[in-house]
Amino acid sequence: MGKFIIEGGKRLVGEVSISGAKNAALPILAATVINSDINTIFNIPDIRDVHIMKKILKSIGCKVEKIDDIMTVDTKSLNTAKIPEDLVREMRSSIILMGSMISRLGEVIVSYPGGCEIGPRPIDLHLKALRDLGVTINESHGFIHCKADKLKGCEIQLDYPSVGATENIMLAATKAEGTTIIRNAAREPEIVDLQNFLNACGAKIYGAGTSAIRIDGVKELRGVEHTVIPDRIVAGTFMVASAITGGEVVLKNIEVEHIQSIIAKLKEAGCMIYNNCTTLKIVGPKKVRAVETIRTLPYPGFPTDMQAQMMALLTIADGTSIICETVFENRFKHVEELLRMGANIKTEGRVAVIKGVKELTGAKVTAKDLRGGACLVLAGLAAKGETVIDNIYHIDRGYEEFDKKLISLGADIRRI
C-alpha cells in the first residue's frame, strides 16, 4: 500500500506547476465514448483514478495511449455495454460512463460504484434523471442495467446540484431527440470544461457554470483535441502547504477565478496572496490566525474537497475555528488521526470545533480517504519530529507525484 515518512518543520519555498484537474479529466475521458472517433486530451494528470479510467476504456474495446500528460482515445472499436465490476468498485467516478454509454449504445450494465468512504453518495439522482430521458432501469444483485431504444429531451429539476448527476445528464442528452434543460445544475468549473469539450465535438450545450443548462440534441459528434483545466483542489492543497509551514510558494498553471473561496479563507488565516490570472504567490504567516467559520458548499462556495486540508492548518492557529461540513456527512475521518498528532478538535455531527495548539507532533497515522490523506501530509509538514502515513494509495488517486513536488519545495518526505 505504501507509506510516506515526513520529517516536519521545513519551510516550503519555490515554484510548483499544478496538474490537470482529476474531476474534469475523468468525465471528459468518459465523454470520448460518445463520438466514436479519435480524441486527444492534453494536461491529463498522472494519478491512480486516471489509470483506472484508462483500464475501463480498454476493457470495453477502446484503444488508449498515454504519453506524458497527453492521452489519445480511439473509441471506434467499443464492443461491449458491460463495464467490469472490479474497476467500477475501485473508482466512484466510473458512474459517469453511464450517460455516455447510453448515448452511444443505448445500453449499459454497471455495478454500484466504489471510491472514498465519505458517507452515502446515492446515485438516485442519476437514475431518476436517466428515467426522465427515457431509460429503462433494472437493478438486481448489485448491478444496474440501463436500456433505451430512444432518448428524448425533457426538463429535469435536480433536488441537489450534484456534479456527477449534472455530468451524466449532459452526456446522455447530447444525442437525445429534442431539448433537455437541467435546473439546479451543478456550477463547478469542471462542468464548464465538459461543456467546452462536448461543444468542440459538435454538441449544442449552453449555460454550464449557471444553475440552468440547455442541451439541444444532435445526431453526430466528431473527435477533437482538448486541454483539461488545472486542478483547483491540488492548487488549494499546495496553498495550505505554504501556509502551514510559513512558506513562500509560487503556483503556476492555475485558474485564479476557480479558487476564490480558498483564497478568501487563507487571507482570513493571515496569509499574504498575490496573483494574476494563471500564477499565484502565497506567503504563510508567522502565526496562523483562527478562522471564525468555514462552511462547505457547492461551487462557488468553499469546496468540501478542501475541508480536511484547511482543518490541518487551523489545528495550529491562534484561537478557535469552526468548520461545518454540509456536503458529505462522514467527512471527518481525518480528525482521529489529527488527534494522534496532538490536535485539539471536537466534532458533533457535521460540525468540528478546532482549538489551535502550539505545535503538532509527529505520529503514526493512516489515510482513510483522498483529501483526509492530503490533510495528514500537510499536518506532517508542520509537525515536530517524524510522521508516518499509511495507505497512501488514497492520496495517489488525486495527486500527481505529490511527494516529489513537495521535495522540490524543500519538504523532507520520502515514499516507502
- Residues of the binding site for UDP-N-acetyl-alpha-D-glucosamine: 92, 121-125, 305, 327
Three-state DSSP state, 5? strand
Extract the annotated binding site for phosphoenolpyruvate. Answer: 22-23
H helices present in 202-352, as ranges: 232-244, 260-268, 307-314, 335-340
Phi, psi torsion values for 393, nearest 5 degrees = -60, -30
Contact call for residues 191 and 185 (beta carbons, < 8 A): yes
Three-state DSSP state, 166? helix
Radius of gyration of the chain (CA): 21
Q: Could you tell me which residues come within 8 angstroms of residue 392 by beta carbon, excluding any fewer than 6 positions away? A: 1, 2, 3, 4, 367, 373, 415
Contact call for residues 29 and 49 (beta carbons, < 8 A): no
User: How far separated are the first and last CA of the chain, in Å rounded?
Assistant: 9
Three-state DSSP state, 55? helix
Whether 62 sits among the annotated catalytic residues: the reply is: no
Three-state DSSP state, 211? coil
Contact call for residues 252 and 322 (beta carbons, < 8 A): no
Q: Give me the residues paired with residue 344 across strands.
A: 355
Three-state DSSP state, 347? strand
Catalytic residue among 62, 116, 146, 201: 116
Extract the annotated binding site. Answer: 22-23, 92, 121-125, 305, 327
Residue 101 is which amino acid?
Answer: M
Residue 344 is which amino acid?
Answer: N
Buried b (16+ CB within 10 A) or exposed e, 90-116: bbbbbbbbbbbbbbbbbbbbbbebbbb
Just list the catalytic residues: 116
